[in-house]
Structure 1
């Protein structure tokens, strides 16, 4: 298969992902409220899963990311006009291999004259995430692995300039869960992300934590939302 053949495959995939109601991708909803509700239902299942089961889902995400690294890279460049394919392939492989999983979820215990203390980490619930056009699928996949490790589900409001490749990444996360025997909609998004859908997510009562990757404007908005927030701006890390 030569470069021209690969480009044709990418174009066909992009064409098949036109923003329409046909052939809907896993985890993609018309309305942000519906996307949040679906993720909330999935989180009820997720929080009851043993740690080993979460790790199985994360392992599947790693596998699917590596298998689709070139497709995701080429779609990202084709859709956004940013970056180059070779570097984006490396980024996808790096996040698949190096993103922490459940090994970072630790339990601490100590005892003394006043008894025994046990500290265990618990999930936030449904996390809202705003993702950029510079590293779109990389951010969706990296965020998902870390959030799932903690027993959370996630709702994405991707940058409109990178919606197709972001939706594909969301679908891969859900495929990874289903292949492991887990629920669908552990990652969700909206068919047509907008500023309004972002505002709905920021204000929603079922979203206790917001994570934003992007420029100073979006990070400032998230950190000023009145909710707990994690923002990454300059440098756009995955």
Structure 2
């Protein structure tokens, strides 16, 4: 078994040479490794095996052999394992939070609450939902049965490495499926720590398997594999399309949680001083690297200058720096390519006519190294500009103006995406009426709170299927009817 990760300082190495197959830490078939770079220091802090198609074959074979026994286990027994995982995540919370911060750049405070806290909550919620679910019921002369598909291939992103695994694996396991996981090669270290937890709680061999590697090799092999019954993917829309095309060859079920370009709609009677700071924070959450980040602020044209002043103040007050320091609100982006991509988006928006309110494409003056981007607000953004409808995935908020409510709704919907949105109004009923017109999978009304049981997923090119709660469990259950 690999040595448990115990990060205690920037100089410690975290190098793995094994993948997790059939309940055992096993050497990968290739000796090649993928380095993990800390975005705050630009230094290699660990590595993981660069898995192969043969590794995927072995993992899928293990999952297939384990399926019948796991599916036959009573739902409360499966739920008990998931609760143990949740408890172990919470016990190792400080260590896991530091690990996520070091590999993703997430500010440490947010890592503790969201990256780790939400992962534990997802395992706990999946246990509750799976235990309470009615898997069989009579309908006239038929017995309707919900049963697990079999082997689930989960392909997860780097921005929420633990939480995204939990969203897939916890619910797939609760439903009685077995899992083969391919984590992002950018941020795999925390997932290896989670796999250690899976091993320590004693999940039966083959129920959960981990194969690290790249998308074109490991991800492609999982999506194409004839013995994988479901693919659950979170990532960019373009990669999601590739996964769908690959999976179509075996007509397997595919769930996609993809990109977003989500609006905050400020109605004319909303309080700018209350809404705008919250809108800026919502755009910059997890350094702007959140698929459902509210990165567009849609405002009445008559209040544009007032909104710009409030946004500049809020963005300017955002503390950028070392993500391991408690006061930091904005850390580095996850990798050099992402930093460069975000800066290009900003520059192109300015070239296309956007107005720079604050921030910009230049490197922050007080950060000589690290993948940092200035907290940026752009105004006078129109639907003709790329930045209005392309996902940036960085700390960039754009301001768009409307003249009446119909135009506000049209602007909110004027992207290929439909993942999330927010509406603010002094009149709650009016806000709800506008929220109903927005084509998005989840819409906040006047800052409505997070519900871990609510379904998460998008319209249009933001994907298909839903995660979390009963809907998240049902994604991993097939339907059978017995005619009696």
Q: What TM-score do the two structures reach when normalised by structure 2?
A: 0.42
For residue 121 of structure 1, report the CA deviation from its aligned partner.
1.2
Q: For 1:23 and 1:229, how far apart are their aligned partners in 2?
A: 24
Aligned residue runs from structure 1 range 206-221, under 5 A:
206-221=227-242
| 1:123 Cα deviation from its structure 2 partner | 0.6
CA 1:193/1:22 → structure 2, altered by over 3 Å: closer, same or farther? closer
Q: Report what 2:319 is aligned to.
A: none
**Residue in 1 aligned with 2:179?**
154
Gaps of 5+ in 2: 1-5, 29-54, 260-290, 293-455, 457-466, 468-484
Residue 102 of structure 2 corresponds to 78
Q: Structure 1 residues 175 and 54, CA, compared in 2 at 3 Å: closer, same or farther?
A: same
- Give matches, 1:1-238, under 5 Å: 8=8, 12=12, 15=13, 17-21=14-18, 26=24, 30=28, 31-80=55-104, 82-91=105-114, 92-98=116-122, 99-101=125-127, 102-103=130-131, 105-110=133-138, 112=140, 115=141, 117-176=142-201, 178=202, 182-224=203-245, 225-226=247-248, 227-234=252-259, 235=291
SS of equivalent residue, structure 1 residue 119: strand
Offset at 1:191? 4.3
- Report the CA distance shift for 1:29/1:145 in structure 2 as closer, same or farther (over 3 A): farther
Aligned partner of 1:3 in structure 2 is none
Q: Does the C-alpha gap of structure 1 residues 7 and 52 become closer, same or farther in structure 2, counting only changes over 3 Å?
A: closer
Contact 2:154 2:169 (C-alpha < 8 Å) held by counterparts: no
The structure richer in helix per residue is 1
User: SS of the counterpart of 1:148?
Assistant: helix
RMSD, matched Cα: 2.8
Deviation by residue 1:49-73 (Cα, 9 ceiling, x = unmatched): 1112101111111111211222222
Mapped to 1, the partners of 2:26 and 2:187 lie a distance apart of 14
More relative contact order, 1 or 2 (CA 8 Å, 6+ apart): 1
C-alpha deviation, 1:20, in angstroms? 2.1
Displacement of 1:39 = 1.8
- Considering fraction of residues, name the structure with more strand: 2
SS at match of 1:46: helix
Report the number of matched residues: 222
SS of 2:198's equivalent?
helix
CA distance in 1, matches of 2:171, 2:25: 18
- Which of the pair has more CA radius of gyration? 2
Cα 1:22–1:130 shift into 2, 3 Å = closer
State the TM-score, normalized to the length of structure 1: 0.81
**Unaligned 5+ runs, structure 1:** 1-5
